[in-house]
Each structure stands twice: as structure tokens, then as C-alpha cells.
Structure 1
Amino acid sequence: MRRADRLFEIIQHLRRRQTTTARELGEALEVSERTIYRDIRDLIASGVPIEGEAGVGYVLRPGYDLPPLMFTEQEIEALVLGARIVETWGDAELAAAAGDAAAKIEAVVPERLRGYMANTALLAPSSYRMEPIGFDLAELRHAVRRQRKVRFAYTDVLGQGSARVVRPLSLAFFGPVWVLAAWCELRQDFRTFRLDRIHEFEALTDGFKAEPGKTLHDFLRRPQTWTRSSLTAVEDGSGNH
């Protein structure tokens, strides 16, 4: 958790309870009491009206609230539509996070904008076509974020199979398919893989660091990256051999 997020959560905990100890906050946020003491001290220094002391507990004086987020109608439409798309096309974990994010935004925007946010006419219906994925997409997302290698079996459009260990770099949704861009250790080059053709997926504990020539930036600098032409290569197997 980023420190800014932790400070926000500390305030939220204090708003919900009359008195909270550093130990309780530390257990809830999975950090040490020493970290909580430091965070409380910094929040007080920044003007947050927290009262109390170490070993006794802390309380937030009534009437304090976080400054409201100010969005225009168009910004709200962008946020709501983005959240609804993620809820429809993402994995269950990401969909839940999108719903939570929208709820947090709705809770802090001014009253005059809440109804507009709830009733915006931009929708992402669930009756869409997406090729089914035979593993948990969240595991792959975590591997991308944490820079962990993954192993899987892959079957191309010609029905030819291969075993791969790759460095996952990026995920993109080209309806109706999700596509993975990766550095393939078998081919020693960048490859793109349709997720609906991946099976026996396994996230490994082996990490990797950015190396010149093997990064997402290097992949994106290549011509025809994330275009219909590159997807054609995925479709006919020429991009995966």
C-alpha cells in the first residue's frame, strides 16, 4: 500500500470509530505500530485534528472531513464509464475494485453531482462477446505488476502447441480477446499471446528486472505494436513461433 493511501485509510478508520489505538490501526493496515506513530505525527503536523497519545489511543475531532474532490460532468462520465467497462471486461477482483473506486468517488463529490454520477447514461452492458479465459486473469495481472515470470502451454491457430516461460509486460483487450505482450524465453524475442489459447497457466516466484531490449518500452517502440496487423500475427500464429 502506498503511504498516501495508508494515511487516507488512517483518517477513514478514525472517522468510523471514537477511539483507535496504534496497535489496532497497525493490524488493520498490516504495518508496525512505529509506522502508525510516525504517520499520526505527520498527519497532525499537516493540520489533521487528531487528539490522543501513544499507548492510549487516538480520536479525530468532530467536523473534520477530507477536502471534496471536484469533478466536471464530463470527468464524471469518463470515470463512471471507465469503471463500468472494467466491471464488465475485467476479472472478478478488478471488477470489485472498480466498483469500490466508483463508490468512494461518489461518497466525496458534491451533492449536486452525485445524482448525475449515479444516472449517467453511459453503459457497458454485460451482454458482450469475449473469448473465455481458462485461468484467473488476476494472477496474470499480479505477475505483470510484480514483474514475475509465468509459465503456460500455448496452442496457436494451427493447433500447434508449445510450452512457454515469459516475462509478462502488458495486457490489452481487443474485443473479443485479451492479449498478452511478453518477452519469450523460448524465442528470445517479444511475442504476443491470446489469453483464450493459454492453458496450464502458472505464475512463478522467479522475478525479473528491466533489461535493455526486453522492456515494455522496447516492445512499444516496435512498428505495428498493438495494431490490427499485430493481432493478425497472433491470429495466424506468425507472432508466436
Structure 2
Amino acid sequence: MNDNDTKRLSRLTAILTQLQTKRILTATHLADKFSVSVRTIYRDIRALEQAGVPILTEDGKGYTLMEGYRIPPVMFTEAQANALIIAEQLVLKNKDTSFIKDYTEAIEKIKSVLQYSIKHKANLLAERTRFDQNINRERNSNNLSDLQFALTNFYIAKIEYENEQNKTTTRHIEPFALVSTTENWLLIAYCRLRKEFRYFRLDRIKKLEVLVDTFEQHKMTLQDFFDKQ
């Protein structure tokens, strides 16, 4: 598949999504949106019709989908769902209430199509994440996605951790929550070496391995943890 084919497939998918979310669309509107000619949109609509999509043409108005037709729900991987949760935390820090309202409604629609198991894990991650604006734009960790996965699936993680004195130790930890400060992500985890909950800076985790061994879910909320500090 060449680049033009890839672009067209992407556009066809986007047109179908647009048709499902809006009652009626004109060829001119679609052409402007995707920066193509009206004639290209005509060809795209014919291609969708030939693929079995029941698109109706209302004279003088535009295109609409046959009543009751729905495309299969979008499928997200667990990592993609987790990324959406972090994006949600970012948006909630925005000072524009209308923007927050629109995004919150959108993310709820996205969550509605997640598989139940992924939806449950995404909700758990949302409960176990606190976010503050990161004024230091440098990317200083590659472990966030893997730690999200370990947290929501209750997998023990093995880390090589460097402390403030530049001493590295190997720890087996039970990830509990993720907290963003103004400069770094912090992991709250039960450390089996120290036998207590500890904060770990993600930029000091030099090596991470998510093990197949699991741990029992800690029966407290993130707020419960903060209240005990």
C-alpha cells in the first residue's frame, strides 16, 4: 500500500466517523475538512457505498447515514486507553471550563466503547493518578506506560533505582499510584525491600522489568494513602 492509498483509507474512515456523529454533511464541508476537491469526496462516497455502507443523499442538503446503521466500536489497546487517561488529567488542569466540559463528554463516549476489562483498568488508573502541570518539558522517563500496565494488572515490577547519593539498588515493588509534580512523575509503590510504601522518581528508575508475578490489590484509595501521611 503506497502513501496515497494510506491517506485515502484514513480519509474514508474519518468520513465514515463524521457521518455517524453528524446528521448530515455536504461534500463541500468534507472537501474543506480534508483539504481535497469536491470531486474526490464524490469518489470517496461512492467507494463507501460500494463497500456496503448505506449512505443516503438528500437533494440540496448532503449525505446522511441510513437510520439505525452503526459502525463497529473503535477498539483501543490497554496502553492506548491508559494514554487517554493521562490526557484527561492534563485537560482537567485547563482553566477553560467549557473546554473541560467538552473534553469530559468526549472521553466518556470513548470510554463507553472500551472492552469491559480495559474500561475497569482505565477507571482504576484514573483513580490512582494525580497530575500537575509539567513546567519542565524535557522527557525524562520511558517507563510510564509499563508502570501503568503493572499498576492496573497488579504485576510486581523489578527496578534498578538510583537514589540521591547515586547509589543503585534493586527493588521489587508493588505499583500503587502515579503522581505528577511540576518536574517529575512519582510512583507510589510498596517496596518489598523496605517493607513500606515509598515514592520513586521515574527519572531515577534506570531499569524496569514487569514480572509475571502478581500481588493482592491494596484495599485503600489514593486519598486514603495521602490521609495517612
TM-score (norm 1): 0.40
